Structure 1
Amino acid sequence: MKPKNKYQKRVFELSKKLSPLTKAQVKWGYKNCIDHIGRRTKKGVISCLECGHTWTDRTTETHCTCPNCDTRLIINDTTKRVFDDYQYFCMVTTSEEFQVLRFFYIDYKAKAGEKARYFHSEVIQLWIDANGKHTTIAKLRPIFCFTDTWNFCSNLEIRPNKNFYNALPTATYPRMKLIPEIKRSGFTGDFHKLTPFDLFRYIVTENKAETLLKAKQTALLQFFAYHTSRSIADYWSSIRICIRNGYNIDDVTMWCDYIDLLRFFGKDLHNAHYVCPADLKAEHDRYVEKKRAHIERERKEEAKQQALKDEALFQELKSKFFGIQFTDGVVQVRVLESVTEIMQEGDAMHHCVFTNNYHLRPDSLILSACIDGERIETVELSLSKLKVVQSRGVCNKNTEHHDRIIKLVNKHIPLIRKRIAA
């Protein structure tokens, strides 16, 4: 795509002036992004898949060093002879007033007894200015393809700012160049489980990010940078109380829900007694029950009428996802299709999916996971990120099926992506 305005033209011209990777940087990427494997047979013959050297070692060690090329290897006991992998690594640099994130695709192919073959190509550049305005330069990707494939023969050109260009690299080159706005923010090289783009853009667009970084409230930083449906300004006065009292928030989703409940009941959100509970879960659950009783006692009829009004909005927001259901043979997961079902889910599971209006949030899709018709966990999926935000069992506890449920939902993300595209 050709640059359409002066801003894009300037970024595109600056992109041409970026230096290519040095041999040392390429070598670093190969070393730190790919798992280097030593294939071991039943007879104890180890093949280094980096250089092709073989030797015998009958010990049961899980790691070793190749005596020929000195590569640290992960021992893999297998009869498999051919291996392949691909990863991304990121270079953080600057150009004029722009923070630039350069992503390189690394492809690895190896065969026992032969030297490994590597290929690398720069596929994405994300340019961010001090105001958070950003431009994407990238190679072409096949349309409607859910795997990381690229047209390596295409040129790096201006592309639409789509989420699939927001890559999470396996490794980031340790020598970074930063614009002053990020350098003074307290960033020390740790991305705190965020993509580099998400963190840097949040730093330059939200002045409160600097406070969170320097106060080491990284869970809050990660949460608000990722969950754009919630505004940090709504919780900032309470966050400041937590920072002042050295109160570390681990489960940010539950804490924000708890603050919303305190606000509902008119509690003092500047009081450490309320906003820094010793047992967050117990207080959260207590106020959930209190709010549920309040709704039942004072607004039963009104809640019914409101539910009818909400039904139309709910249908408008989520009807395109109705009918989605899947199973792995044991766990069944389906999209909840009415406000009544959401209400019943919250009552049965004793959590706040209904009382805190999760179903009316445009970015949230609510699913119910069951086994033999019995509710196990309630799943919230972010429609913008296409990732599971949370999955909660009865009273917000994780069940023994928690990891299995998340894995099952992630496996069927393409079903939801298709509905969004439709």
Structure 2
Amino acid sequence: YQVIRFFFVKSRYKAGQAAEYSIYEVVQRWIAPNGTPTTVARLRGMSLLYYDQWSEYSDMEVRKNNGLHAYDINPVCTYPRQRFIPELKRNGFKGDCHGILPYELFTAILSDSRAETLLKAGQYPMLRHYIHSSFDMGRYWASVKICIRNGYNISDGSMWKDTIDLLRHFGKDTNSPKYVCPTDLKAEHDRLMHKRNKEIERKKLEERIRQAKKHEKAYRKLKGIFFGIAFTDGTLQVRVLESVAEFAAEGTELHHCVFSNSYFLEKNSLILSATIDGKRIETVEVSLKTLEVVQSRGLHNSNTEYHDRIVNLVNSNVNLIRQRMEAA
């Protein structure tokens, strides 16, 4: 067996007296050559937040293999003189745990041939992520082997796994070194993530537009008299939103609540969109009671550099709104 022993060190200080120290063993992890563990430990309190809940005078007995007795122990220091069973050395262990707790590393490489292969191939970040996340490595193993064969070091296991998932989503060949061995992993991950986010946003917009069709008739009845109102200062173009579908697009692109909070059904509000060359800049709400700008919101409800200019432009053209109201 490979045995990992944990000791609890206590110190006691009192003014005018010499410091007192004590040490006692609290846990032993016995790991068989096939990776099967057995825990021998003292009793411990139910809290996993503190290491000092051991019952010092309880017996060292076989306990359940759970976090209460050892899984969560991250030792402060490690005794320098160590011995290892030959099976660990056979499976690639050379004395360095590569940032993985010894218990987790030993049980993994003794019981899982894929963990053993990752260690021997020097794919330490991938090994850490595999052990800590416990995902289905079978879905990624063919791609991992391609990396190993091509001498490609996976620098970030989590990011690489996400990249493979994204490649698979977009129908790319995850058995091709061209895709699974990117020169700049982060740049490729971010590019695919951006593409995926755009796809999600597009689907959200399509769904919102489908929902919006239910309210088009009501919106036209409420605000149809204002349709066609538009004005510009040469750079900014401002116009009344003329469909609930436009509310959906406005809210999706600028990430605010003009659609989700159903502003198209607000009797005393008129919503306009301020754009530059077709790009949405801010969404403007005008009170139909006071004919004043209530709010003007850009991306994520923030004010843009054009905010004051937009508000002034709308205020200087409220007569267009008044004329429509009087005509009605």
AA matched with 1:162 = N
Aligned residue for 2:40, secondary structure, equals strand
Distance in 1 of aligned mates of 2:119 and 2:19: 41
Does the alignment pair 1:155 with 2:59?
yes
Distance in 1 of aligned mates of 2:96 and 2:17: 37
Q: Is the 2:31–2:37 contact (alpha carbons within 8 Å) kept by the matching residues of 1? A: yes
- The offset of 1:199, in angstroms, is 0.8
Alignment length, in residue pairs? 210
Does the alignment pair 1:264 with 2:169?
yes
Aligned residue for 2:98, secondary structure, equals coil
Q: Is the 2:108–2:116 contact (alpha carbons within 8 Å) kept by the matching residues of 1? A: no
Distance in 2 of aligned mates of 1:202 and 1:216: 15
Distance in 2 of aligned mates of 1:266 and 1:240: 20
Correspondent of 2:86 among 165, 180, 186: 180
- The offset of 1:203, in angstroms, is 0.8
Q: Name the residue aligned to 2:9.
A: 106
After TM superposition, the score normalised by the length of structure 2 is 0.57
- The offset of 1:297, in angstroms, is 5.2
What does residue range 20-99 of structure 1 map to in structure 2 within 5 Å? Answer: 98-99=1-2
Q: Is the 1:261–1:288 contact (alpha carbons within 8 Å) kept by the matching residues of 2? A: yes
- The offset of 1:188, in angstroms, is 1.7
More strand by share: 1
Q: Is the 2:8–2:24 contact (alpha carbons within 8 Å) kept by the matching residues of 1? A: yes
Distance in 2 of aligned mates of 1:299 and 1:130: 52
Distance in 2 of aligned mates of 1:145 and 1:281: 35
More helix by share: 2
Cα gap change, 1:302/1:133 in structure 2, threshold over 3 Å: closer, same or farther? farther
Cα gap change, 1:186/1:174 in structure 2, threshold over 3 Å: closer, same or farther? farther
AA matched with 1:256 = K
What does residue range 398-417 of structure 1 map to in structure 2 within 5 Å? Answer: none
Does the alignment pair 1:194 with 2:104?
no
Aligned residue for 1:171, secondary structure, equals coil
AA matched with 2:61 = E
Q: Is the 1:168–1:196 contact (alpha carbons within 8 Å) kept by the matching residues of 2? A: no
Q: Is the 1:295–1:303 contact (alpha carbons within 8 Å) kept by the matching residues of 2? A: no
- The offset of 1:296, in angstroms, is 5.3
Cα gap change, 1:134/1:301 in structure 2, threshold over 3 Å: closer, same or farther? farther
Map Cα deviations across residues 336-378 of structure 1 (whole Å, 9 max, x no partner). xxxxxxxx9xx97xxxxxxxxxxxxxxxxxxxxxxxxxxxxxx
Q: Name the residue aligned to 2:152.
A: 247
Distance in 2 of aligned mates of 1:261 and 1:186: 31
Aligned residue for 1:107, secondary structure, equals strand
Does the alignment pair 1:227 with 2:130?
no
Distance in 1 of aligned mates of 2:130 and 2:4: 21
AA matched with 1:155 = D
Distance in 1 of aligned mates of 2:14 and 2:103: 36
Distance in 1 of aligned mates of 2:198 and 2:151: 33
* Amino-acid identity (%): 47
Does the alignment pair 1:280 with 2:185?
yes
Map Cα deviations across residues 159-192 of structure 1 (whole Å, 9 max, x no partner). 1211131222222223333233212112122222
After TM superposition, the score normalised by the length of structure 1 is 0.45
Unpaired runs of 5+ residues, structure 2, are 210-250, 256-328
Aligned residue for 1:203, secondary structure, equals helix
Distance in 2 of aligned mates of 1:169 and 1:109: 20
AA matched with 1:188 = K
Distance in 1 of aligned mates of 2:90 and 2:133: 24
Q: Look at both structures and tell me which one has the larger radius of gyration over its CA atoms.
A: 2
Does the alignment pair 1:133 with 2:39?
no
Cα gap change, 1:144/1:112 in structure 2, threshold over 3 Å: closer, same or farther? closer
Does the alignment pair 1:214 with 2:120?
yes
Map Cα deviations across residues 53-88 of structure 1 (whole Å, 9 max, x no partner). xxxxxxxxxxxxxxxxxxxxxxxxxxxxxxxxxxxx
Once superposed, which parts of structure 1, at least 4 consecutive aligned residues long, lie more than 3 Å away? 109-116, 292-304
- RMSD, aligned α-carbons: 2.9
Distance in 2 of aligned mates of 1:115 and 1:276: 60
Unpaired runs of 5+ residues, structure 1, are 1-97, 305-343, 349-422
